[in-house]
């Protein structure tokens, strides 16, 4: 059965100042990329064996940063969803929703008082192993808002005056983990207590973001978040993403994404469904397809 995912895009309105000496002056800096990547493998009477496969991956990323007088406001959205089909089997190869907004008020030349809210989740169900048999359709290990992460942070933001580099230092950060699915909640997945659907941790956060549009054809970005709850201070959770969009010509774009995660509350689940201890998680997505950098 075909599944359609509608990507929500972040639209930011642009204000113009009407002054005699400065006409059409803008205070927004915006950049982003969108891509649709395809792949196919086909076999006909191939003696070495093999199975036909088709893959498709859609991605959208956008940043809108506002800077005027002593006010800074940084917004970002990163969406991705992908499927592979091997014969009659359907396999999910990417699925993420990342949204963040950061508001700051200037304290010194490079430091701003700051408050940030971020949200992360995924669009659809995930399984510990693929392909998924019909009898195992209800044995998913994740889905939308299971987990979902909402993080609110207050602290100081370092903003480089010439480079697109920002570092948030927050001694007061609240990370809320949602598991809204009844079965996963009853199992105590993702750190919630069995039967509960919310787990909140108060701690400290350090977050660094950097993006660079080297020219009209190459866009690079990375975000790393280091958090530690005060109840288990010293245990550091890591969330690190990197992305590269390279427009090869008028029609084709090369896209590469990496994701590195470590969270004490996320237990590794093997292919047999057995829960292990927390482990470093790593994922990479590389593809060639139709894309646009703006």
Model pLDDT for residues 45-56, shown as the tens digit of each residue: 666 566 777 889
Q: What tokens appear for 169 in the block?
A: 């230092």
Confidence of residue 275 (pLDDT cuts 50, 70, 90): confident
Q: What tokens appear for 119 in the block?
A: 């949200």
How does DSSP classify residue 233? T
CA distance 7 to 94: 14
Mean pLDDT along residues 126-154:
89
Q: What is the SS3 assignment for 160?
A: coil
Given this model, what pLDDT does residue 16 score?
Answer: 29
Given this model, what pLDDT does residue 48 score?
Answer: 55
Cα 45 from chain centroid? 41
First to last CA, the chain: 34
Higher pLDDT pick, 50 / 232: 232
Q: What is the SS3 assignment for 190?
A: helix
CA distance 173 to 263: 16
Mean pLDDT over the full length of the chain: 85
Q: What tokens appear for 200 in the block?
A: 């909140």
8 Å CB contact between 139 and 116: no
Higher pLDDT pick, 6 / 42: 42
């Amino acid at each position: 059965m075909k599944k359609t995912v509608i990507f929500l895009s972040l639209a930011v309105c642009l204000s113009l100042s009407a002054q005699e000496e400065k006409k059409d002056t803008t205070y927004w800096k915006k950049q982003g990329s969108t891509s649709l990547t395809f792949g196919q493998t086909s076999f006909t009477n191939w003696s070495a064996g093999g199975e036909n496969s088709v893959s498709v991956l859609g991605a959208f990323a956008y940043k809108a940063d506002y800077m005027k007088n002593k006010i800074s406001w940084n917004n970002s959205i990163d969406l991705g969803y992908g499927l592979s089909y091997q014969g009659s089997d359907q396999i999910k190869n990417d699925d993420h929703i990342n949204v963040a907004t950061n508001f700051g008020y200037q304290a010194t030349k490079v430091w701003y008082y700051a408050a940030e809210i971020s949200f992360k989740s995924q669009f659809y169900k995930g399984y510990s192993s693929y392909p998924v048999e019909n009898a195992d359709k209800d044995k998913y290990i994740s889905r939308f808002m299971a987990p979902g992460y909402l993080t609110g942070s207050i602290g100081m933001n370092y903003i480089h005056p010439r480079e697109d580099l920002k570092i948030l230092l927050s001694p007061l950060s609240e990370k809320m983990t949602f598991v809204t699915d009844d079965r996963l909640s009853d199992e105590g997945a993702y750190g919630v207590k069995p039967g509960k659907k919310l787990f909140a941790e108060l701690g400290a956060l350090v977050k660094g973001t950097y993006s660079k549009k080297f020219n009209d054809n190459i866009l690079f970005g990375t975000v790393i978040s280091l958090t530690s709850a005060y109840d288990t201070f010293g245990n550091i959770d890591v969330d690190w993403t990197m992305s590269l969009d390279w427009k090869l010509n008028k029609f084709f774009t090369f896209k590469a994404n990496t994701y590195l995660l470590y969270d004490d509350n996320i237990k590794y689940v093997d292919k047999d469904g057995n829960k292990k201890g927390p482990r470093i998680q790593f994922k990479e997505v590389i593809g060639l397809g139709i894309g646009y950098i703006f």
